Amino acid sequence: MTLYLDSTLYINEQVIIDATTQPGFVTDLPDGRGFPAIILDAQGLASAIHLQSGDSSTVAGLSIINYSSNAVTIGAGSAANWVRDNFLGLATYNQGGYYELNYAPPYQRAGTRGIGIASSRNVLLRNVISGNDNAITIGDDISTTDSTDVRYQTNSLQFNYVGTDATGTKALGNTSDGLFLGAGAGETWIGPGNVFSGNNSAGIELLHPSNIGNVIFDNHIGVDRDGTAVLANGEIGILISNGAYYNAIGGSWGGNVISGNSLGGVVIGLYAPSPGDSGHADLNYIQNNIIGADKTATVPLGMQDVGLSIEGGSTNVVVEGNVLGGNITHGVQCYDSQNNSISYNSIGQNESGLALPNQNGFGIFLSNCSNVWTIDNRFGSNGLGTIGQQ
């Protein structure tokens, strides 16, 4: 059933929109997901649903297409909402046999987002978000403020498929990023169980000094839901730059699989920042991830240029407990950055000693990087050797 909207649905008090109860909502997808039976066609409106005020609303079980800005907008006056089990930017027919995408004919809506959030304590759960420009944005435009205050915090993203089809095994894409954290977005819980794959640019980007205390854990970035097949992001898996600091990629609660991304798995800082950008990203932690191989850390997936790059004057970056293997060039590279630690990793092998070659590079490559700790790394098979410097 398709419902055609003549105006945006503005929500100004607690409301529950739950189309998972609609007859025809079929729950035969992985992880208990379902195919929405109701499609909202926004007919070119800026947003289909705008949570404007009032807290703790639910939007569930809808396909939303043909909007010009956001499928769902959550404004500053509305917090602690649940957006779950939706298809945002795509509609499906015949239970997965055919998809209509917001960026493809007949809609071709450039600059769209599946969901735009400018508030706190919201939960995004089990959504499929493809066919947009940026799939998910949290925060304000980074060009509009230099404020380092965290204004939008403790938002949570769990078990979403971002850039894929409803099975998490086929790339549909968003034309830019899977997740973009803008100005004011901090303390975001990104995980567990998300897939950020098949996007034209990056899986996840943090590009503002107010991006503080975000945790990215137990996700698949550049690979499918099973963590075994490449669904490449067109540029980078995760980019943290422009002063974003004190963020964690992985950790004791669960590392990510970050493999198959065309230009690199993780980039901290920018080697050649744009005018006005600070470039560096300090005090970030990359721990217990698999970067370049499959989920089992036994199969090198290739296609990913470099595992991890630390650039642009970034300092006090901690890289430990990761498996960095199966990349085309270096496992880790460091340019023009100081006082970082690259220690206790398995580079060119997994933790059991199985070879995962970084094919055409060093395990660690340092260029104009001083005071770098490289303690107790286990080096396996790397095309140019263990540690190279220039």
DSSP-assigned letter for residue 26 = B
Strand runs (DSSP E) across 273-371, as ranges?
285-287, 290-291, 308-310, 318-320, 323-324, 332-335, 341-343, 346-347, 362-367
Cβ contacts of 39 within 8 Å, gap of 6 or more: 1, 2, 3, 62, 63, 64, 65, 91
> How far is the first Cα of the chain from the last one, in angstroms, to the nearest whole number?
63
Tokens of 88: 């945002």
Give helix then strand counts, H and E, for the chain: 0, 41
pTM for this entry: 0.95
The pLDDT of residue 336: 92
CA-to-CA distance for 67 and 113, rounded, in angstroms? 9
Say what the pLDDT of residue 189 is: 98
Q: How far apart are CA 231 and CA 223, in angstroms?
A: 5
- Cα 186 to Cα 77, 211, 376: the distances in Å are 18, 5, 33
Give the C-alpha separation, 25 to 83, whole Å: 16
Enumerate residue ranges in the chain where pLDDT < 50. Answer: none
CA distances, 346 to each of 218, 264, 288 (Å): 19, 18, 10
Q: What pLDDT, on a 0 to 100 scale, did the predictor assign at position 148?
A: 87
Do residues 33 and 160 lie in contact, with contact meaning Cβ atoms separated by under 8 Å? no
Strand, helix or coil at 21? Answer: helix
What gap in Å lies between CA 237 and CA 274, rounded to an integer? 20
